[in-house]
Structure 1
């Protein structure tokens, strides 16, 4: 036998033994079968994990291959059309009978109304009793009739509440209409019970519209909740009246809320419930599903100078509070606690520019005013110097729309109602 070959074999064997000793952290004399079994189990888990990754990758590749073989017409129908704004889809219906057939069915309109959950603009009064609409994007978020002249009533009337594409309009003596301004569909609600007609409170709006598009409900029922003062001589006791498009009748709740005056046109909906602000800086909620109400304090406690408004972000009730220094956004969490989502500087210093898209942090030249809002995205609405501003509290990006300047007769809050442009259907009552 060759001595050199023996030497190399011995050296290789000793090196392998040394490496094995280093890898295991112990000498061969300290060998433990339990630790060898753990190593085998770990290897088996690694093999199983690699097999799962390969299976997932195979599914993704098969999905890509299937998508590449899908006709372009089906891709446009399933992935493009439902995400287009209503104004564009209404124009596309005139392209051909096939496109009209794709866009007109209720199932398509229902799906499109679920994909659009971001504010398109706001309604506000141009003259007493005359409404106007101001979109962020006139091409994508515009509506055919911004003055709502399709409604079968003459001014004066007011847009008092909105929810996920639907508007509630009110005229004299509790005459209510629910409509979709993007499609000009409307329904006149029956009058509430006569014993609630109070002349001295005929112009007091304390309504909230609750509309939550359901995945499995094509009829898309909505609820109008009306809070009313029970006694003429006692201004701190309120009851609730509820109209449901499913039952098509009004009912009076047995719940009673003792609080100070509800703030006009502060009603919003979130998670299927109605909410209002009060003059004692509390939030009153009413849940039509459980027929229950409660009152909780607002987030900032004893700060008398902050302005605040309620809204909804992705199904959660939120509150925008504006102080001299910052915009603070809170979300309600159980049990009736406010979580701070963002605190953003609002006043620009000398030499600073206004917040443009992509800049951080956004700033304003003067203190803005919070508005009611509703969106699936983390966006709140603000009003500053004839500008409607949509502020994303995560990315700090801004959207802007020019709105006619304030008039002396316009109240600070009642004339600004957010709107989401969708194909949400309004069934006759």
Structure 2
């Protein structure tokens, strides 16, 4: 009986030698940690050894990394027709080899971003759309849309990495003023799977002005800021509606974003920030005396410096919350750009704001293949 038990224990021990407990540290890091790192760090780690370099440069690793790393890494800034520049939240960890996007065949304006991909549009000529990854410098030119999107298109890029899709599948959706119906907005959708544009049959009628660069995608629904409300477009049902949302805090104009899988509304105050999440999108269909609220306060944050100074800004005109998504809020104060990290509760000054009218787009340092 003891001999049999010893044999069982021996076999069990031999089997365990193949487990993670008996792996070398470099193999543990390579197999279980590298995929969670940003692209710039990974390029630096290709010099550790030949095995790491071979792994990091494979398409399969790029696929794993694009599914594992989703953190906001920095922001592209662009003024007028000048080439874009990039400000990293951590220059040692995050970066792109060519922030000006000179690898594209013509000068462009960055319109939208999503999980490592950028949607850009040519300044002149055909106004062609491009999808690119600024880390790998790979790009694709899209076919011409069916509709005229205007000079400042309210376009949103949607890319949700999936373990089941080794080739990035993405969509673009643009809301544009209808040429056939007064006070009407129509929607055009591009699918990378079909490589075609298609104008939806849905039309939204409203007298409010649409703010182009405010589009946010959350769970197959896209939201844009109107003058005093939110325009909602359900991609699955292809239906549009209006949602209440007060963007004017006591300290200026707020911003829509995605936090913890939910739509959030971040507004400034003279002392800090208020972050609300969408709790009920259907309050406009309920009875007059219903106590249901569309938004619930998630965070009440005190900041130094604050995102608003009464002597500097008109709260009805200034968008001093420039970005709010993931765990990062980007805001202006006293001519400088600052970030606040909701996890670490740390504030960081990114430097002087040279142009208050500059266009700002977030970036995720991903290896995603187009």
TM-score category, normalised to shorter length: 0.7 to 0.9
Query: Which of 187, 199, 204 matches 1:257?
Result: 204
Q: How does 1:114-193 map to 2 (within 5 A)?
A: 114-154=67-107, 157-171=108-122, 172=124, 173-193=126-146
Are the aligned partners of 2:225 and 2:231 in contact in 1 as well (CA < 8 Å)? yes
Question: In the alignment, which residue of structure 1 is the partner of 2:7?
Answer: none
Cα distance in 2 between the residues matched to 1:304 and 1:92: 47
Question: In the alignment, which residue of structure 2 is the partner of 1:220?
Answer: 168
After superposition, the C-alpha distances for 1:181-213 in whole angstroms (9 at most, x for unaligned) are 1111111111001xx23xxx7312210111111
Once the two structures are TM-superposed, the CA of residue 82 in structure 1 deviates from its matched residue by 1.1
After superposition, the C-alpha distances for 1:282-308 in whole angstroms (9 at most, x for unaligned) are 1112232332222201146x8686301
Question: In the alignment, which residue of structure 2 is the partner of 1:69?
Answer: 22
Asked if 1:419 corresponds to 2:370, the answer is: no
Question: In the alignment, which residue of structure 2 is the partner of 1:344?
Answer: 301
Aligned pair in 2 of structure 1 residues 132, 403: CA closer, same or farther (>3 Å)?
A: farther
Cα distance in 2 between the residues matched to 1:223 and 1:86: 23
Q: Which runs of 5+ in 1 are unaligned?
A: 1-61, 349-353, 355-362
Aligned pair in 2 of structure 1 residues 304, 137: CA closer, same or farther (>3 Å)?
A: closer
SS at match of 2:214: coil
Cα distance in 1 between the residues matched to 2:352 and 2:28: 38
Cα distance in 2 between the residues matched to 1:135 and 1:257: 38
Q: How does 1:301-316 map to 2 (within 5 A)?
A: 306-316=252-262
Once the two structures are TM-superposed, the CA of residue 389 in structure 1 deviates from its matched residue by 2.6
Q: Relative to total residues, which structure has the larger helix share, 1 or 2?
A: 1
Are the aligned partners of 2:16 and 2:22 in contact in 1 as well (CA < 8 Å)? no
Are the aligned partners of 1:266 and 1:372 in contact in 2 as well (CA < 8 Å)? no
Aligned pair in 2 of structure 1 residues 83, 304: CA closer, same or farther (>3 Å)?
A: closer
Question: In the alignment, which residue of structure 1 is the partner of 2:59?
Answer: 106
Cα distance in 2 between the residues matched to 1:404 and 1:237: 36
After superposition, the C-alpha distances for 1:344-374 in whole angstroms (9 at most, x for unaligned) are 234x5xxxxx5xxxxxxxx568478112343
After superposition, the C-alpha distances for 1:151-170 in whole angstroms (9 at most, x for unaligned) are 1113xx31111111111111
Cα distance in 2 between the residues matched to 1:344 and 1:305: 13
SS at match of 1:266: strand
Calculate the aligned-residue CA RMSD, in Å. 2.7
Once the two structures are TM-superposed, the CA of residue 238 in structure 1 deviates from its matched residue by 0.5
Question: In the alignment, which residue of structure 2 is the partner of 1:291?
Answer: 238
Q: Relative to total residues, which structure has the larger strand share, 1 or 2?
A: 2
Question: In the alignment, which residue of structure 1 is the partner of 2:340?
Answer: 391
Asked if 1:370 corresponds to 2:327, the answer is: no
Once the two structures are TM-superposed, the CA of residue 266 in structure 1 deviates from its matched residue by 1.4
Aligned pair in 2 of structure 1 residues 88, 403: CA closer, same or farther (>3 Å)?
A: farther
Aligned pair in 2 of structure 1 residues 389, 304: CA closer, same or farther (>3 Å)?
A: closer
After superposition, the C-alpha distances for 1:282-341 in whole angstroms (9 at most, x for unaligned) are 1112232332222201146x8686301111113211111113343111111234421111
Are the aligned partners of 2:186 and 2:203 in contact in 1 as well (CA < 8 Å)? yes
After superposition, the C-alpha distances for 1:20-47 in whole angstroms (9 at most, x for unaligned) are xxxxxxxxxxxxxxxxxxxxxxxxxxxx
Asked if 1:79 corresponds to 2:25, the answer is: no
Are the aligned partners of 1:257 and 1:294 in contact in 2 as well (CA < 8 Å)? yes
After superposition, the C-alpha distances for 1:65-96 in whole angstroms (9 at most, x for unaligned) are 94331233420212231122211222333555
Cα distance in 2 between the residues matched to 1:395 and 1:122: 19
Cα distance in 1 between the residues matched to 2:186 and 2:38: 39
Cα distance in 2 between the residues matched to 1:189 and 1:80: 35
Cα distance in 2 between the residues matched to 1:99 and 1:262: 48
Question: In the alignment, which residue of structure 2 is the partner of 1:275?
Answer: 223
Q: Which runs of 5+ in 2 are unaligned?
A: 1-14, 283-293, 311-318
Query: Which of 195, 204, 217 matches 1:248?
Result: 195
Aligned pair in 2 of structure 1 residues 125, 214: CA closer, same or farther (>3 Å)?
A: same
Cα distance in 1 between the residues matched to 2:302 and 2:67: 33
SS at match of 1:226: strand
After superposition, the C-alpha distances for 1:244-279 in whole angstroms (9 at most, x for unaligned) are 111111111111112222112112222233221112
Aligned pair in 2 of structure 1 residues 84, 395: CA closer, same or farther (>3 Å)?
A: closer
Asked if 1:326 corresponds to 2:272, the answer is: yes
Once the two structures are TM-superposed, the CA of residue 109 in structure 1 deviates from its matched residue by 1.2
SS at match of 1:416: strand
Greater Rg over alpha carbons, structure: 1
Instruction: State the aligned residue count.
Output: 334
Cα distance in 2 between the residues matched to 1:342 and 1:63: 46
Are the aligned partners of 2:268 and 2:307 in contact in 1 as well (CA < 8 Å)? no
